[in-house]
Amino acid sequence: MTAPVQEHRPRLLLVDDDRDVLNRLCHLLNNQPYELATATDGDQALALFNKLPFDLVLADAHMHGMDGPTLLTRIHEQRPDTIRILLTAHPDLNMLVTALNEGHIYHFVHKPWDDNELLLTLRQAVAHQAIERERLYLLDTVQQRNEALNELNTSLEQRIAARTAELQQTADMLDLAYEELRHSYVVSTEVFSLLINQRLPKEKQTNQQVISLTRAFCNHLKLGDGQTQDITMAAALYNIGKLSWPDNLIETPSDALYKNNRELFRDYPGRSESLFMALEPLQDARALIRHHQERWDGKGFPDSLREAAIPFGSRLIKLIIDFVELQKGLILERHLSQDEALLLMRKYSGKVYDPDLIEPFVALCTDACGGDASMLAMNTRQLTPDMVMARSLNADSGLLLLNEGKVLTKLIIERLIAFETMEAANYTLFIKAPEASGRSD
């Protein structure tokens, strides 16, 4: 990098084979802010030039041996920033052309010279040189700083890219952990839902059927995973607020219960919701639980919401809960068949139920009656490792044995067979068909 310009006395080299000329020049310049050196021929001048850096060379055009233009050309080749001035009494055109083209001289000075003009020429030459050196220094400084800035930007971009990749990886891991946590909560809510089932006779237990049908309906409607999980958790826990009821009331059809114990019955959705107030992953599901007894016409409870003001998930599980409970004898005194339940629910479309959900739900139930090609029914001896559960499996006692989505292993299959033998039971498992599970046999 070129050094910054500092205050110094410019060094001048005066070259002429006439001693008198050199003496006159030295006399003229002695009182000027220059350091002077003299030479009487070109070779002597080059020898001095190679030892010391000179800012300016003033050389006579006609000298014995090496002439002025040749000397200035040599100096230009060695150090182009040195100012070169040619001193001549008899200008020759060819000489001038050589001096200009090859020596790149700054100025001509005629003999005899005017002292004031010569002094002015030298001052201007030195000033020009100082400005040019400052310009080159600043240019070099800017270039180096630009290079340093480019290197810094490159390094910064690399660090940002690396940090971004690190943060993205962390975010992906957190997302995965959160999804696993949510899935664990879904499984936990299904286990928790067995508490209310244990209070009911086997023929009146509803929760597992409600959960399976809810998940199937969400898949039928192509809802997202997060929304499906929230609705499924709400479906698993919808009647948990009945745990404090006496057994006889839990088994009483809601039609009779509403007549004789109206306040108790209207209170259970809010009680179910309040039980999970402190559990963050259940916050969205809580609202669905609270409003699952609202009606499309606004005559439901606990808040008399109507139509689209009722959360979508609440409207959905309302359909499924009533469909299952109608068949279990938990709404009317008698048990309805599936067709009777669907016919009754269609009758109340636009009054009790969301009219936009009725027909898709009827279609789902109709398809289910005709068989589901996405799953296979198997006994425990037909199972092989890597199969995926299409529905949750419960023991005859209601205990959840395997949850939907569980991947079977050799150990799980052996334990299931042993448990089946111990319980003297025969379990039918619904397994995802290979094209549905994305696995090969």
Is the omega angle on the peptide bond into residue 112 within 30 degrees of 0, that is, cis? Answer: yes
- Least confident interval from 41-55, 105-119, 251-265, 357-371: 357-371
Long-range contacts of 410-415 (CB under 8 A, 24+ apart): 410/385, 413/380, 413/383, 413/384, 413/385
CB 102 within 8 A of CB 111: no
pLDDT of 417 strictly over 50: yes
Structure tokens of 388? 């995926």
Report d(CA 8, CA 11) in Å as an integer. 9
When computed from its CA atoms, the radius of gyration of the chain, rounded to whole angstroms, is: 50
**What's the pTM value of the predicted model, to 2 decimals?**
0.49
Q: What is the DSSP string of 221-246?
A: TT--HHHHHHHHHHHHHTTGGGTTS-
User: What average pLDDT does this structure show over 297-302?
Assistant: 94
Question: CA separation (Å) from 119 to 11, 122, 125?
Answer: 15, 5, 10
- Least confident interval from 52-56, 334-338, 391-395, 410-414: 391-395
**Minimal CA–CA distance to 418: which of 378, 381, 376, 377?**
381
CB 393 within 8 A of CB 212: no
Reduced to 3 states, what is the DSSP secondary structure of residue 394? strand
**Beta-strand pair 428-432/375-379:** antiparallel
The per-residue pLDDT for range 90-132, each reduced to its tens digit, is 766 666 666 666 657 888 888 889 999 999 999 998 988 888 8
Q: Is 350 left (phi over 0), alpha (psi -120 to 50) or beta?
A: left
**pLDDT tier, 289 (very low <50, low <70, confident <90, very high otherwise):** very high
pLDDT of 200 strictly over 80: no
% of the chain with per-residue pLDDT over 90: 36
Structure tokens of 107? 């100025």
CB 41 within 8 A of CB 65: yes
Question: 231 vs 403, which has greater pLDDT?
Answer: 231
pLDDT confidence of residue 163: 83
pLDDT confidence of residue 96: 65
Long-range contacts of 286-294 (CB under 8 A, 24+ apart): 286/234, 287/311, 287/314, 288/230, 288/231, 288/234, 288/313, 288/314, 288/317, 289/234, 289/237, 289/238, 290/314, 292/234, 292/238, 292/317, 292/318, 292/321, 293/266, 293/269, 293/318, 294/318
Kind and range of the H or E run holding 30:
none
* Domains of the chain by start residue, with CATH: 11-138 (3.40.50.2300), 198-371 (1.10.3210.10), 372-441 (3.90.105)
